[in-house]
Structure 1
Amino acid sequence: MGAGAPRLAALLLLAAAVPVTAAEPKYDLLLRGGHLIDPRNGIDAVRDVAIAGGKVAAVAPRIDPADAFKTIDVSGLYVAPGLVDIHVHVFAGTGEKGSYAGDNSVYPDGFTLRAGVTTVADAGCAGWRNFEEFKARVIDRAKTRVLAFLNIVGNGMRGGPWEQDLADMAAVPAGVMAKKYPGLIVGIKTAHYAGPEWTPVEHAVEAGTIADVPVMVDFGASKPERPLAELVTRKLRPGDIYTHVYSGLRGELDPSGHVNPGLFEGRKRGVVFDVGHGGGSFAWRVAVPAIKEGFLPDSISTDLHIGSMNAGMKDMLNVMSKFLAMGQPLADVIRWSTWNPAREIKQDGLGHLSVGAGADVAVLRLEEGRFGFVDSFGARLRGTQRLVCELTLRDGKVVYDLDGLARPDWDTLPGDYKSTGDPRWEGR
């Protein structure tokens, strides 16, 4: 035996003693076998979606489950980008009675994730005077991604005299605050004004121009001095948003029952038309004839607040299901609830599942049966399809799981089992 033999033998024994570990899986989570609808990428087919580090890592007809730490079977379900609801009211917690900067709002996480919604835009609850309180109280604490339209009223949507105070509708401080928080303040909101003046709209547009963000308009009381057609054909810019489009409260239909021609002209100019269902802003007697005439929404939103969540609106999926009941294809309904609203607020990183995008995902079941859908005024439309959220992912983590798709059966676990999750795929 040569002089180096004992050393070689020792090295071989040492190598044998070192345990061999399996290679770390490429993906944290694999959604397998679902029907992916991703309008931005033109996908409407069965696809596997793999996630790593909170991002979409791969999308393919088949991805090997051996490459994933955790696999969830979503066959028979629809996989969509996390839903984007651009009209909600979530400035809760101040204790102010009768105020959308208070008791009329809801905390987001209890009403969004269970409906597949991963991003919301608060629609004007805060103005420049109280936005930073809203940010500290709600935005910075929510799992839901909360963005905001800043109210042109400095005091925000506090009701009564505050929202009618023309002197507090200052464009410059609103625009400056919006510029201070780019990507968080995504627009300017004007709402609920009851007077004949154009001042709220004009100052909102000025603030939006300062900050290079769109304006969303809830047109308040219907006034002959400021007709809807003039708003959408002259006052608003391309990319500005008219919400509550099927309300019937401001001349969306003409006296003959047809769509106001100004809406078609406004769309040609690039004005965006949003649903904004709410507690009093969606009527079958407006939506059904408008849809039949081809006036479809650009985006679906809820106008979530304490007065809408338990009434005809309920949640995002219920509003989306109403458009299925009016004969609209599922792929279009998902586009109006994901990629379209993301683009409307200039958030092109949201609303799609491209490789490298954040893994906000909604897994939906399309139920077949006999259902009834109620508008804001208590009238019902019958339908045969309804969307239900089975699973929601936020940044690649499961944050809602209706039927335990991500969970093992209890009788397959050790007798003293405790937690069954893992931080690589479970959100808490």
Structure 2
Amino acid sequence: MPYDLVLKNGRVIDPSLGIDRVTDVAFSAGKVAALGDGLSGLKEKVVTGLIVTPGLIDLHTHVYWGGTSLGVDPDAFARMSAVSTCVDTGSAGPGNFPGFRKHVIERSTARVLVYLHVSFAGIYGFSKNIMIGESHDLRLMAARDAVEVINDNRDVIIGVKVRIGRHASGPSGIQPLDIALQVADETGLPLMAHIDEPPPSYEAVVAKLRKGDVLTHCYRPFPNAPVDGRGKVKEEILAARERGVLFDIGHGMGSFSWKTARAMMAEGFPPDTISSDVHALCIEGPAYDQVTTMSKFLPLGMSLTDIIAASTVNAAKAVQRPELGTFKVGAQGDASVLELRDGAFPLEDVRGEVVVAPQRFFAAGLVIAGRDIGTDAAPLAHAAE
């Protein structure tokens, strides 16, 4: 019996399986059904010359569209960036999560997973004109409420979020992190910590994180860069990686610096995960989307396989969802189709430095739960139905 959908003759790169070869990927009943040559399907898509990966996971997004000022539409973003899973990081807190679930998560074709903010209303005051750090006021730290909401929504909540730094937590300093860590411990979930400008220091934050916790904005610029003035990785950061803390890009509007990235890569400290931190204030630059963020690691010398791993299997491990980020038979039937185009592509960081890259990824197709979603850039290659 033919499969429901087959992506034919693409360059399949799946770091979870150690695969990099031209072959077919088949889907049935919403799952990965087979990998191999000459597969046939009720619907077939020829993707010759394109890269086929397990569905991209953007580990840091803000997709509570309409419920927060920074939210973008998850389905529109997924189509423009070939992302099958958007992990929302703290847009909602326990006070407004029910609306996020009902009005966005349950209506989205793109899969939405959530790091629930420990602050009661999540990131509620973030726009072009208003910037209110939700961690400034310790009265908003809703530990009991967060535990209750997490326990009621473990199908979609995969962790706890907190934002720390001069802008995010201000006079509260590092205390919101201590509260969030208690929530994470009580619920048995990992934590994702945002870090912006000091205080507290990058080193003080990572020193508190545990195995499996995520430090996002890991390539941020000075001040609070992960490297010192000589370009050396700080000792506390090396110690954190050694004990299993994960380091995520979280590009956004202020958190990816070419200078920091060059130093970190030169020191042999690549990110564990690559994410866009897409939101309303950076979707038109400098982050744009996931494939643009991934493209920035090509001129940094990161291998194609490692870039894809950082957006698939590594992210799946971070959210503890082994059924994602892989083409293992029986896994979720998600796939991203990418074009790796040669040329001269200017890519800016958050401080305005531009690097002209000789290659760049473009979204060329998307499959979610075995369904051909296509992209806004192009339909999924060429149909042969």
Pick the TM interval, shorter chain: over 0.9
Residue in structure 2 matched with residue 127 of structure 1 by the alignment: 93
Partners of 1:84 and 1:40 in 2: CA distance: 14
1:403 positional shift: 4.0
Say yes or no: does 1:86 pair with 2:59.
yes
Q: Deviations over 1:342-394 (max 9, x none)?
A: 11011111111111112110011110111111101211012111111111011
More deviation, 172-181/279-288:
172-181
Say yes or no: does 1:59 pair with 2:35.
yes
Partners of 2:379 and 2:251 in 1: CA distance: 31
Partners of 1:199 and 1:318 in 2: CA distance: 35
Residue in structure 2 matched with residue 183 of structure 1 by the alignment: 155
Partners of 1:209 and 1:165 in 2: CA distance: 22
Give me the TM-score of the superposition, normalised by structure 2: 0.93
Q: Which residue identity is paired with 2:212?
A: G
Partners of 1:44 and 1:183 in 2: CA distance: 32
Residue in structure 1 matched with residue 332 of structure 2 by the alignment: 358
Aligned 8 A contact 2:90 2:162 in 1: yes
Residue in structure 2 matched with residue 170 of structure 1 by the alignment: 142
Partners of 2:355 and 2:133 in 1: CA distance: 37
Residue in structure 2 matched with residue 205 of structure 1 by the alignment: 181
Relative to 1, partners in 2 of residues 1:267 and 1:367: Cα closer, same or farther, differing over 3 Å? same
Q: Deviations over 1:130-157 (max 9, x none)?
A: 1111111211111110111111111211
1:406 positional shift: 5.5
Say yes or no: does 1:44 pair with 2:20.
yes
Structure (1/2) with the larger helix percentage: 1
Say which of 266, 271, 280 aligns to 1:292: 266
Residue in structure 2 matched with residue 252 of structure 1 by the alignment: 226
Relative to 1, partners in 2 of residues 1:313 and 1:173: Cα closer, same or farther, differing over 3 Å? same
Structure number with larger C-alpha Rg = 1
SS in 2 for 1:200: helix
Residue in structure 2 matched with residue 19 of structure 1 by the alignment: none
Q: Deviations over 1:94-123 (max 9, x none)?
A: 3xxxxxxx2221111111222110101111
Residue in structure 2 matched with residue 150 of structure 1 by the alignment: 116
Say yes or no: does 1:222 pair with 2:198.
yes
SS in 1 for 2:296: helix
Aligned 8 A contact 1:35 1:79 in 2: yes
Partners of 1:347 and 1:161 in 2: CA distance: 31
1:220 positional shift: 3.8
| % identical equivalent positions | 36
Aligned pairs for 1:246-325 (under 5 A) are 246-248=219-221, 249-325=223-299
Q: Which residue identity is paired with 2:219?
A: Y
Residue in structure 2 matched with residue 413 of structure 1 by the alignment: none
Aligned 8 A contact 2:272 2:314 in 1: yes
Partners of 1:122 and 1:382 in 2: CA distance: 30
Say which of 333, 338, 341 aligns to 2:315: 341
Gaps of 5+ in 2: 126-131
More deviation, 333-342/251-260:
251-260
1:230 positional shift: 2.9
Residue in structure 2 matched with residue 35 of structure 1 by the alignment: 11
Relative to 1, partners in 2 of residues 1:179 and 1:326: Cα closer, same or farther, differing over 3 Å? same
Partners of 2:147 and 2:230 in 1: CA distance: 40
Q: Which residue identity is paired with 1:63?
A: G
Aligned 8 A contact 2:8 2:47 in 1: yes
Aligned 8 A contact 2:55 2:367 in 1: yes
Residue in structure 2 matched with residue 237 of structure 1 by the alignment: 210
Partners of 1:261 and 1:280 in 2: CA distance: 24
Partners of 1:164 and 1:334 in 2: CA distance: 37
Aligned 8 A contact 1:26 1:52 in 2: no
Aligned 8 A contact 2:374 2:380 in 1: no
SS in 1 for 2:16: helix
Say which of 86, 102, 105 aligns to 1:139: 105
Q: Deviations over 1:21-77 (max 9, x none)?
A: xxxx421111111111111111111221111111111111x1343xx2122211211
SS in 2 for 1:28: strand
Partners of 1:161 and 1:232 in 2: CA distance: 20
Tell me: higher relative CO, structure 1 or 2? Use CA pairs within 8 A at least 6 residues apart.
2
Partners of 1:170 and 1:227 in 2: CA distance: 24
SS in 1 for 2:324: coil
SS in 2 for 1:37: strand
Q: Deviations over 1:287-308 (max 9, x none)?
A: 1111111110000001101111
Aligned 8 A contact 1:119 1:145 in 2: yes
